[in-house]
Amino acid sequence: MSKYENDIVKILLESNTSVSGQKIAEHLNISRTAVWKAIDRLKDRGYKIESISNKGYLLVALPKQWDSHLLSSILERSSLFNKGYIFEELKSTQDEAEKIALSESQPFIVISEKQTDGRGRFKRHWSSQPNTGLWMSIVLQPDISLQKLTTFNLFIALALAKTVGSYHTDVKIKWPNDIYLNEKKLSGFLTEIKGSQDNITQIICGIGVNLNTQRTDFPNELESTATSLHIETGNNIDRYEFLERLILNVEKYYYLFLTGTFSEIKDEYESYTLIFDRILKYTEGSRVIIGQAESLNDDGTLNVKSAEGDMHRFISADIEL
């Protein structure tokens, strides 16, 4: 997008009413024809801008596609992320984030409209249809030990749960890395790291959230297990608004993670958990336990009491509901 288009979007976004072409032209020190041409290009990019006679231009709707200008304007208000990268199609935002990180030393975000090879944990496939959700990797450069990192997922899960909770009150965290609504998976994330035992230098956290996905958009195998905010609320979700709320929560909980311990957010975290008070199947590697989650430890591990009465500690597990 040219500089003028960026500036015009900014002017229209900041104004609740229409803005005259003359005013925009004067503000940017360009001709009215240049304004009119830039408005046309913005319309081509999916911005819905009405021209109201004698009044000027009114921004009625944002483009359906992720748009780099809008991401920049969200990030301008962020105290953590400096830069955002938007792609129409990627294999996985995780791989692209890793590449960009080679030359980027500040926290940043990568979003793709579509992923052809989006992945979950253990290289499982993550369904990432275009225009429906948020497929994003956030890259952070902490200076922490591996031991400290064990609680990172708990903080991110809480940031996600709080964000989803601002749309639907029944949100639950399925430890360690899923967000559920009505017993169905709405969101999952995975955390990949770089560094050594004593010094984790990079976290690439990939977050997938189904926002406007319709039931028929999901592949057959996910139809009964996955859901979206649209399905659960009946509303069309403004993806930019969701993103902005999520970024604010990620910032808040990331700072708490860096400066505090899990015990400080434990009560809040536990108020969202889905798995307590139920007998479930826990699988971690070759270990399979049928039992009941009893408590979370301060390092983020989970204590599960088996049907035979003995206690098992899980670092991360697949849990069948």
Q: How far is the CB of 113 from ligand BT5 (least distance, A)?
A: 12
Q: Is 119 in the site for ligand BT5 (CB under 6 A)?
A: yes
Q: Is 92 in the site for ligand BT5 (CB under 6 A)?
A: yes
| Closest-CA residue to 193 (of 94, 284, 292) | 94
Q: How far is the CB of 129 from ligand BT5 (least distance, A)?
A: 8
* Region of 45-53, 65-73, 131-139, 273-281 interacting with ligand BT5 (CB under 6 A): 131-139
Q: How far is the CB of 292 from ligand BT5 (least distance, A)?
A: 21
CA–CA separation, 290 and 9 (whole Å): 55
Q: Which of 84, 107, 118, 300 binds ligand BT5 (CB under 6 A)?
A: 118
Q: Which of 208, 269, 282, 291 binds ligand BT5 (CB under 6 A)?
A: 208
Q: Distances from the Cα of 314 to the Cαs of 84, 148, 175, 185, 190, in angstroms?
A: 35, 17, 10, 21, 17
* Region of 22-30, 182-190, 272-280, 286-294 interacting with ligand BT5 (CB under 6 A): 182-190
* Region of 57-65, 99-107, 132-140, 260-268 interacting with ligand BT5 (CB under 6 A): 132-140
CA–CA separation, 314 and 116 (whole Å): 32
- Taking CB under 6 A as the rule, which mask of x and - marks residues 210-229 in contact with ligand BT5? x-----------x---x---
* Buried b / exposed e along 224-237 (16+ C-beta atoms within 10 A): eebbbbbbbeeeeb
| Closest-CA residue to 165 (of 157, 153, 177) | 157
CA–CA separation, 308 and 164 (whole Å): 37
Residues that bind ligand BT5 (CB under 6 A): 92-94, 115, 118-122, 124, 126-128, 135-137, 177-178, 185, 188-190, 206-208, 210, 222, 226
